[in-house]
Structure 1
Amino acid sequence: MTALLQKLFGYHAWANNDLFDKLETLDQAQHKSELHTALRLINHYHVVAQIFAANLSGVQHNYASGNTAETPTLDELRAALASSDQWYLNYLRSVPPANLRETIPFAFTDGDKGYMSREEMLTHVALHGGYHRGEVGRLLWQLSVTPPWDTFAVYLHQTEPGRRLQGGEPSVSA
């Protein structure tokens, strides 16, 4: 499972980077409202990723909600998200696979208690980010801007071009 999670977070980082590349092409004055909405959505999934990174690390976070009062700039948020993405990639390189099944109790920002396995937390962070990137993609469509290709299949074929070889033999493992 660790290998799949590593690919999933590689994809997550790649998709985040592509999204910022696309957002940087917007006329910031003309699309001020839509860009602000996009930044709020991205900041939300970044904050959630930070909260779960704290849960995975066994440290307290300082977030009282799933977003911050202030909206970071595009550049600030891009840097913060890239740092978070790198943290998750590093975490997955260092966590022993057996530890992924360990459950961790935590409190949600609304005070409700819960617990998830490390594997479930990691999966949540990646899927949650994808959900909100999709919302930003919808905003781009509404501006007649084609959003980036945010799919796992595209990521795999761009990062592993050998997958495009015609007539290659699929591998099957038991």
Structure 2
Amino acid sequence: MSLSTLQSLFAYKAWANEELFARLAQLPPERAEQLHACVRTLNHIYVVDRIFRAHLSGEPRPFDATNTKETPSLGQLSADVQATDAWYVGYLARLGEPALAEVLAFQFTDGDAGRMSREEILLHVITHGGYHRGNVGQMLKAIDVAPPRDLYTRFLHLREPQRRRA
């Protein structure tokens, strides 16, 4: 996969996260239980994103599990996710194409050893986040709330409206 495609996918991820957090902020107080379940799922995405960020940057792993014991507020998590999304966008802006093939060794939270290329890690972060945003979308549908249209095609055409021209 090209670096420019990865850059586009991470811009899409940031956009999709912003839309989803905005929708969740509109849930009425009587949906607090469902909001909590959504935040737990989104916190899992955030924690995994941060763990793989540490692997990519050679920093110590910031979490020992794939979710936290305490659930952050929606506002705090939104800010943390925005900062992490911005880190990935910036990281890809500085990364050279040859670095994508570099294989990194790390340890998973369960203690098992892992080896993945930078490209594989980045693709994991993208697919993992999309999978779980879809879970949250299904939770919203179950309470008759339309989730945002989390579509890469929608993102591309909103960002570059000229793509709609024949």
> TM-score, structure 1 length as denominator?
0.94
Task: Give deviations 1:111-154, integer Å, cap 9, x for gaps.
Answer: 01111000000010011000000000001101101100101000
Partner of 1:91: 91
Larger-Rg structure: 1
Partner of 2:6: 5
Q: Using the TM superposition, give the Cα deviation of residue 67 of structure 1 relative to its aligned residue in structure 2, in angstroms.
A: 0.5
Distance 1:64 1:89 in 2: 25
Moved over 2 A (4+): none
1:20 aligns with 2:21: yes
Distance 2:46 2:146 in 1: 23
The correspondence of residues 39-78 of structure 1 with structure 2, limited to 5 A, is 39-78=39-78
Partners of 2:19 and 2:148 within 8 A in 1: yes
Matched residue type, 2:135: E
Q: Using the TM superposition, give the Cα deviation of residue 61 of structure 1 relative to its aligned residue in structure 2, in angstroms.
A: 1.5
Partner of 2:120: 120
Q: Using the TM superposition, give the Cα deviation of residue 62 of structure 1 relative to its aligned residue in structure 2, in angstroms.
A: 2.9
Q: Using the TM superposition, give the Cα deviation of residue 23 of structure 1 relative to its aligned residue in structure 2, in angstroms.
A: 0.3
Q: Secondary structure at the match of 1:69?
A: coil
Partners of 2:104 and 2:115 within 8 A in 1: yes
Distance 1:62 1:14 in 2: 24
Q: Secondary structure at the match of 1:31?
A: helix
Identity of aligned residues (%): 46
Partner of 1:111: 111
Partner of 1:172: none
Q: Considering only aligned residues, what root-mean-square deviation do their CA atoms show, in Å?
A: 0.6
User: Which structure features the higher share of helix residues?
Assistant: 2
Q: Secondary structure at the match of 1:78?
A: helix
Partners of 2:103 and 2:118 within 8 A in 1: yes
Q: Using the TM superposition, give the Cα deviation of residue 32 of structure 1 relative to its aligned residue in structure 2, in angstroms.
A: 1.1
Q: Which runs of 5+ in 1 are unaligned?
A: 168-174
Partner of 1:170: none
Q: How many residues matched?
A: 165
